[in-house]
Amino acid sequence: MSTTTSTPTTTSSPTSTSASCVTMTPGKYGYVPPEACNGYYNFYPQFAPAVATATIFGLFTVAHIALAVLYKKRYAWVLIMGSLWETIAFILHSLGSHNQQNLGYASSYIIIFLLAPLWINAFVYMTLARTVFFFKPDRRVWVVRAVSMSKYFVWADVVTFIIQAIGGVMETPDSGATQIKIGLDIYMAGLGLQEFCILVFAGLIVKFHRDCLAMENLEKWGGSSDKVQPMEPGRRGWRRVVFPMYAVLFFITVRIAYRIAEFGGGVSESNPLPYHEAYSYALDAFPMMICLLLLALWHPGRVLLGPEAQLPRKTRAEKKAEKLEKKQAKAQRKAEITQGTDGSLFDSQRTADSQSAKLQGLRAPDLSRPELPAPTASVPRRTEPQVWGTYTEFDV
């Protein structure tokens, strides 16, 4: 790729925005060197590769919309969003390549391009939860239930998304050096969290893989086991879901490693990654293309068929009924506590004492009236006057 198409020159009276840069007169398509104050790209963005990449991601978006409709997988909208964001990012990049002084194109491209893979990551999380629910009779891996698995990892992905979004917004081209450094640190922290979740998730996939092998061996060789239940009849093809997930996680990890190396090395001449556009195509865009291709060729909808392939969802009426039931149960508990305070609990205790006394051959106490205290010796009354303040009163 060429790096320039024209030679920009400095202005006759350059406006210095910092101690280390000057504003330069843009060349063709608004190009200025990366060290210029008004330079929004670390490289010369090429138009043709951006258009080609946007077209490929656009075709994947259309394909996954069709597959989601064909296999009736509503949750596939997450994967469609990932492909769509990649498409939008490179449309903006192609526009920005011919208008390199447009800050909106440059900033939007960076943010959307950095966040798009998180949608694909979330789709894999949701797919494993549905695969476990479909294939395993106990519908869990270790102690993690399939329904909870989807919630935990999707929420972790949301937190990762927020962290990376904050970092991405802070490292836009118009930010200062200090803000960009902070943004890069925040973004790399989000990458680290994402990779940690992927490693934990990979452990669950391996455990599910081993469980499926054990279920197949139990069915093949017969016998029984307290730890392994046989797979339900007619449910096959779990490998066609698991192996593509392994591959997708691998390519996402490659992309994370590239971004950590790019941002961790700093934006300096000693680190060539930020200054060559080819790296972002080869180690970010291309791995995501492979992920979308694998999930299209081995779409989970080909295997996860029928109502058992969907995680249980409560309707709005069921949620209202459950909420009302909880409210009624709470009111009933409160009424029981109040009733016990009024004496019903004491009455039940006295009834139990009465029954115990009958079993021992003793006379049961009369529960119709309260027991009176035993008589005590009478105390003679005082007849002398009691004086309080200025008043005198006889005790009568």
Q: Supply the mean pLDDT for the chain.
A: 82
Residue-level pLDDT at 187: 92
Return the SS3 of 231. Answer: coil
Residue-level pLDDT at 145: 92
- The span from the CA of 117 to the CA of 259, in Å, is 12
Confidence of residue 329 (pLDDT cuts 50, 70, 90): confident
- The span from the CA of 23 to the CA of 38, in Å, is 6
198 pLDDT exceeds 90? yes
Percent of the chain with pLDDT over 70: 76
What is the mean pLDDT of the segment spanning 364-391? 53
366 pLDDT exceeds 80? no
Residue 61, token pair as written in the block = 């978006």
Within 8 A by CB and 6+ apart from 218, the residues are 224, 225, 228, 230
Angle, alpha carbons 295-298-303 (nearest 5°): 120
Residue-level pLDDT at 299: 96
Residue 59, token pair as written in the block = 């075709």
Helix count (H) and strand count (E) of the chain? 10, 6
Residue-level pLDDT at 192: 95
Residue-level pLDDT at 289: 98
